[in-house]
């Protein structure tokens, strides 16, 4: 049984998509998609040998070798132009790593109609990348599973640059509109941590770096309190 987190990611993949799942580990997500009519073909990319072998085994065990190609490659290098990829999923990593994978491989995103990204932390890094690279948010979700809180960002190419303000970058333009209970819980947890860090910084020798860090934290706390 797939985790709720990956089920929710899968639900954003278009049924007629050719999907590349980057950092696929056991390839659970593409296997689920192919078994349930959630996509027509898939590539599962992995940078580490162990998970790559697990993905190959899983795809074989599920009899999906003709529909899922497993490749050992860093980031979007797992995608080849002839694959005709229309959707990319990247789940279960930090937002900064996801943003750097997108930045390093952006020439491989030609023809891709949708990115479905599930950062465990720091979704802001992805939103910043999206603004700079002509992708707009079409949906966002926040969910809690086994006491962990996850965000899902769904992006599509935009004709014109869609700017996001500081609040939208940090909290997410769609999540900010919804402000559901999980959203509130996430930011209450975060704010408690920021306040504890800011207090500790207060009692540390005030170098330029420390002052900048403290200012950034206070700015985030102020944004949070406004929201």
DSSP string, 62-129: TT-TTTEEEEE-SGGGG--GGG---EEEEEEE-HHHHHHHHHHTGGGGTT--EEEEEESS-THHHHHH
- Residue 143 contacts ligand SAM per CB under 6 A: no
The encoded tokens of residue 201 equal: 């910084």
x/- mask, ligand SAM, residues 144-183, rule CB under 6 A, reads: ----------------------------------------
d(CA 43, CA 24): 9
SS3 call for 204: coil
| Residue whose CB is less far from ligand SAM, 51 or 172 | 51
* Total residues at interface with ligand SAM (CB under 6 A): 16
Asked if 70 and 3 touch (Cβ cutoff 8 Å), the reply is no
The yes or no reply on residue 93 touching ligand SAM (CB under 6 A) is: yes
**Minimum distance of ligand SAM from residue 75's CB (angstroms):** 4
**For ligand SAM, which is the closer residue by CB, 71 or 220?**
71
What the block records as the tokens of 190 is 């975060």
> Binding residue for ligand SAM (CB under 6 A) from 10, 79, 91, 142?
91
**Measuring CA to CA, which residue among 6, 15, 51 is closest to residue 34?**
15
Q: Is 25 in the site for ligand SAM (CB under 6 A)?
A: yes
Residue of the chain from 31, 87, 101, 164 that contacts ligand SAM (CB under 6 A):
101
Could you say whether residue 134 binds ligand SAM (CB under 6 A)?
no
Residues near ligand SAM, by CB under 6 A:
6, 22-25, 45-48, 51, 74-75, 91-93, 101
């Amino acid at each position: 049984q797939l985790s709720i987190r990956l089920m929710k990611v899968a639900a954003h993949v278009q049924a007629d998509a050719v999907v590349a799942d980057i950092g696929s580990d056991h390839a659970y997500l593409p296997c689920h998609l192919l078994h349930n009519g959630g996509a027509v073909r898939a590539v599962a990319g992995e940078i580490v040998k162990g998970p790559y072998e697990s993905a190959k085994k899983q795809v074989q065990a599920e009899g999906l070798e003709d529909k899922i190609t497993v490749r050992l490659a860093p980031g979007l290098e797992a995608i080849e132009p002839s694959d005709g990829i229309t959707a990319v999923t990247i789940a279960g990593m930090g937002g900064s790593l996801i943003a750097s994978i997108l930045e390093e491989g952006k020439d491989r995103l030609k023809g891709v109609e949708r990115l479905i990204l599930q950062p465990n932390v720091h979704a802001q890094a992805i939103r910043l990348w999206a603004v700079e690279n002509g992708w707009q948010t079409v949906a966002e979700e926040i969910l809690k599973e086994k006491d962990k809180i996850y965000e899902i960002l769904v992006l599509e190419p935009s004709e014109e640059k869609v700017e996001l303000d500081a609040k939208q970058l940090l909290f997410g333009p769609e999540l900010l509109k919804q402000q559901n209970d999980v959203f509130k819980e996430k930011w209450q947890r975060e704010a408690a941590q920021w306040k504890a860090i800011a207090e500790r910084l207060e009692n540390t020798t005030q170098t330029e770096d420390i002052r900048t860090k403290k200012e950034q934290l206070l700015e985030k706390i102020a944004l949070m309190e406004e929201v």
